[in-house]
């Protein structure tokens, strides 16, 4: 897999990811580039200096900023790891469950939101859903190095497991109760649906409830990662004020 761009490469090194090699543009001389190269030297990472044309060819997104790191395959976690992490920190679990998100840009953005918001993990499905790939790593801007991601065979079974562990599960989807009038200051999992269909009917039925964001414009839905960010930070806000 590849981590592209200065933020993604910096966080990969900082997090101790296994980096097989680092490609760096020959013409890099600015302080930011020098810091990354120094970090790579200190971490004993093999660095190859190449023409920018080589980086352009290797780049998936075209925004490598002079750096591409080749990392080992992404290591998924288990849901139990997320719950244990919350318990060790003395915190109520805060988990994001994605139901059929297929756009790697959305998954990368969700992982970034999860990291910034201090969520204990993100759960994704194995079928009809995007996995953690190079694009996801790039869009996450390094957050994927810190956020636990569990890839499960069946999202509904994962919801059942969370409920058995006394985690309240709410689907973020249109037609539910006002999220700003819902008590989210609890052990919580937020289910966010795919780009076109939202949270599936059977999945919503598994949840303890459905929460919705108020929509005031003519477009009746938000991008999955945007909706996830707003919902997550409402849960965080409630935890901070109580």
3-state secondary structure of 117: coil
- Read off the pLDDT of residues 168-184 as tens digits, 9 standing for 90 and up: 999 999 999 999 999 99
3-state secondary structure of 200: coil
Q: Which domains does the chain have, with CATH numbers?
A: 2-71 (3.30.1330.30), 79-241 (3.40.1280.10)
Range 143-154 average pLDDT: 94
Q: How far apart are CA 27 and CA 33, in angstroms?
A: 10
Range 128-154 average pLDDT: 91
Range 80-100 average pLDDT: 97
On the question of pLDDT at 117 being above 90, the answer is yes
Alpha-helix residue ranges (DSSP H) falling in the chain: 6-14, 31-42, 52-58, 79-88, 104-116, 134-139, 155-164, 201-206, 224-241
pLDDT at 20: 85
The top-scoring range by mean pLDDT among 18-22, 70-74, 104-108, 221-225 is 104-108
Range 93-122 average pLDDT: 96
In angstroms and rounded to an integer, the radius of gyration of the C-alpha atoms of the chain is 19
DSSP state, residue 34: H
Strand 209-212 and strand 149-152: the pairing is unpaired
3-state secondary structure of 96: strand
Identify which has the larger pLDDT, 7 or 197. 7
pLDDT at 242: 66
On the question of pLDDT at 47 being above 90, the answer is yes
Q: How far apart are CA 242 and CA 235, in angstroms?
A: 11
Q: How far apart are CA 143 and CA 178, in angstroms?
A: 30
| Average of per-residue pLDDT values in the chain | 93
Range 222-232 average pLDDT: 93
Q: With left for phi above 0 and alpha for psi between -120 and 50, is residue 184 left, alpha or beta?
A: alpha
Q: pLDDT band for 128, please (50, 70, 90 cuts).
A: confident
């Amino acid at each position: 897999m590849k981590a592209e761009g200065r933020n993604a490469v910096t966080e990969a090194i900082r997090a101790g990811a296994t980096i097989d090699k680092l490609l760096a543009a020959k013409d890099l001389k600015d302080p930011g580039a020098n810091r990354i190269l120094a970090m790579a030297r200190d971490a004993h990472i093999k660095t190859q200096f190449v023409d920018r044309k080589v980086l352009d060819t290797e780049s998936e997104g075209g925004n490598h900023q002079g750096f591409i790191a080749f990392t080992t395959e992404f290591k998924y976690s288990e849901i139990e790891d997320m719950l244990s992490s919350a318990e060790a920190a003395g915190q109520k679990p805060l988990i994001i469950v994605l139901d059929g998100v297929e756009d790697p840009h959305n998954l990368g953005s969700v992982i970034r939101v999860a990291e910034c918001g201090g969520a204990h993990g993100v759960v994704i499905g194995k079928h009809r859903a995007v996995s953690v790939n190079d694009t996801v790593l790039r869009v996450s801007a390094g957050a994927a190095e810190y956020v636990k991601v569990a890839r499960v065979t069946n999202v509904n079974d994962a919801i059942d497991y969370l409920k058995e562990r006394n985690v309240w599960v709410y689907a973020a989807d249109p037609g539910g109760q006002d999220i700003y009038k819902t008590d989210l200051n609890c052990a919580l999992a937020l289910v966010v649906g795919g780009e076109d269909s939202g949270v599936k009917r059977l999945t919503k039925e598994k949840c303890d409830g459905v929460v919705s964001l108020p929509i005031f414009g003519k477009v009746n839905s938000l991008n999955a990662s945007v909706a996830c960010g707003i919902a997550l930070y409402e849960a965080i806000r409630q935890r901070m004020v109580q």
